[in-house]
Structure 1
């Protein structure tokens, strides 16, 4: 869309510059290269491959190494973070994958019921595999998780492990894969048991980006959802890109019935995670968009609205700084955090 084009281009060019020059120690570093080879060699050896994608970007978060392997019923696309994506769009994407003969499943790694349902689904797949292969029920099934950085593989693996242990009534110290909000933290392949009778082990692998990403729109979406390290970007560029998406969408219209804010509550106004502040942010953004009379498909008008939103958000977040740039960076960090945690609505950035 024209209203987001300049923001997409700016972020995309930043990604391309870093990937082309290899100027960042984070981008496809030696850990990623070693992990890439290890994953590549193990994929043909496991029973199932769970390709974990971000439900907000079902196509943009596709795991690039799987293009070297033929698709099969043992490859399952897991749309994680479904709680952050548009529910109706997720259904559309799953219908699309079904048409393309892919098996897909949407999950929320932090919801026990969602994990239990997926575990039941996976165990049914394991039983089908054993029946078709005439295998003994004492055999071990291995399931490998693959995906880009920060799509939630480790959180998903830990949840499966925890629910699986409880279901199997197994005791002992709970082993966990390392979980971090920062992409690229997992360095090794971790094995976790998720079921018994038959035994099922899940292999959590490091998130691996392709050596280069030429598509600026895809790289912008990866940046906004956190698959690429925030340190590679100007925070305000990420925030402006999100605001352009918000301004052109319909999610903000759901905030129309927000009640009049009670500013006498106990919440601290500069703590952006408090409900009072979240409501104030929604209200401020709703009012700015609703009052704007320009053409949001026009880049100049979109920039004008976004700058007005930044001015308002500095007041809402109670940001005081002598530096205009520093103040905007603080606002940007808080805004992106609210977006990534679903406090500002549910967005699917990839369209069919």
Structure 2
């Protein structure tokens, strides 16, 4: 399995900045371990009967398919590895392509390092965005090329591809896009089925086949997401929870949001928001204007995805971190900063509830949604091992 080093913030190399970053990172890691321990305390509640059945079905099909596409989250290339493929007895030697999906949400420079790392380990790897047809076309071309190699150029045959991965990495979105690109005749367009795509993990329950190409005829088998039945690495677990691979209903959203804010506070991304008060400060975000263009999206105060709300969230986070006078290396003071940010974000999200518990949950859900859609920056939480980077340099 590709184990990653702990995340390292990319601060400037000045002694003061490096020291501050290291202290903040240390406090963030403490929250990560706490969240990971909470998940492990659920005693495998995320691994239901459907996952066990899906894993057995995948095991059965592995020897029968021509190619395996292992989909991972580009933000966590190591944490999102499909555990069954890491066992020597199940490794589809030479028949696997690792697909780093959601590359549009990850740090591009880190994604390039991961692709180079995979290549060094003689493993095919491609980064894609399942919502970009051009990106999926690149993947489909790679699959076709590999199939020609496997089938020795034979065109009158049938090839099968098994799509596997943990929950919520975008497998169904990928198969739908491949399916749409590869439809072979107008007569089939209304008849070919599509996979159900959801932002919630665990929606795919059965293995389904979708035709994506002809000459040779190529079918992709979409499989349910499967997590390991137990975890030993708390950092991996917390990252899986943050990116949405583990059902939110099993966890406290507030705890996950706290971990998210710890990451934001200990990375460099928030510094890009320094000039929000100057850049575009005169832009009006009125929600009552009647001179709005017919094609312009109506702006609602309660819609946290609106640009003016996201701008306010970013400004609050930048101001709070920049003006923080406490000790970043002290977990209690670092947690106090996060609690203050959660309270301040209530106003940015226009949340008004009597219950502080409801308020915290609402803030957490909206904040997590902004992160998971890339509105709070592009973070890669898993980094390639240090020893590889030294060799590559």
Say yes or no: TM over 0.5. Answer: yes
**Which residue, 36, 39, 59 being the options, matches 1:15?**
39
Of 99-108 and 7-16, more deviation after overlay is shown by: 7-16
Matched, 1:317 2:349: yes
Aligned-residue offset at 1:127: 1.3
Q: Would the aligned equivalents of 1:269 and 1:276 in 2 still touch at CA under 8 Å?
A: no
The residue aligned with 2:170 is 152
The residue aligned with 1:171 is 188
**Which residue, 241, 247, 268 being the options, matches 1:229?**
247
The residue aligned with 2:13 is none
**1:273-312 pair list within 5 angstroms:** 273-312=305-344
Matched, 1:209 2:227: yes
Aligned-residue offset at 1:99: 1.2
Aligned-residue offset at 1:71: 5.1
Per-residue CA deviations over 1:28-65 (Å, capped at 9, x if unaligned) read: 21111111101001011100000000000000000011
The residue aligned with 1:88 is 109
The residue aligned with 1:37 is 56
CA distance in 1, matches of 2:171, 2:134: 18
CA distance in 1, matches of 2:180, 2:341: 43
RMSD (Å) for aligned C-alpha atoms: 1.6
Q: Would the aligned equivalents of 2:68 and 2:92 in 1 still touch at CA under 8 Å?
A: no
CA distance in 1, matches of 2:346, 2:163: 41
Aligned-residue offset at 1:262: 3.0
**1:1-352 pair list within 5 angstroms:** 1-18=25-42, 20=43, 22=44, 24=45, 27-68=46-87, 69-70=90-91, 72-131=93-152, 136-165=154-183, 171-173=188-190, 174-258=192-276, 259-260=280-281, 262-266=284-288, 267-352=299-384
Partner-residue secondary structure (3-state), 1:77: strand
CA distance in 2, matches of 1:215, 1:6: 13
Per-residue CA deviations over 1:252-310 (Å, capped at 9, x if unaligned) read: 11222322263424522221011111111111111111111333232122112111211
CA distance in 2, matches of 1:270, 1:10: 32
Aligned-residue offset at 1:76: 0.6
Per-residue CA deviations over 1:44-98 (Å, capped at 9, x if unaligned) read: 1100000000000000000011123235331010000101111111001111111
Partner-residue secondary structure (3-state), 1:256: helix
CA distance in 1, matches of 2:247, 2:234: 16
Return 5+ residue gaps in structure 1 as ranges: none
Partner-residue secondary structure (3-state), 2:246: coil
TM-score, normalization by structure 2: 0.84
Q: Would the aligned equivalents of 1:247 and 1:296 in 2 still touch at CA under 8 Å?
A: no
CA distance in 1, matches of 2:142, 2:29: 40
**Length, aligned pairs only:** 343
Return 5+ residue gaps in structure 2 as ranges: 1-24, 289-298, 385-393
TM-score, normalization by structure 1: 0.93
CA distance in 1, matches of 2:206, 2:100: 23
Per-residue CA deviations over 1:112-166 (Å, capped at 9, x if unaligned) read: 11011111121111112222xxx63111110000100111111111111011116
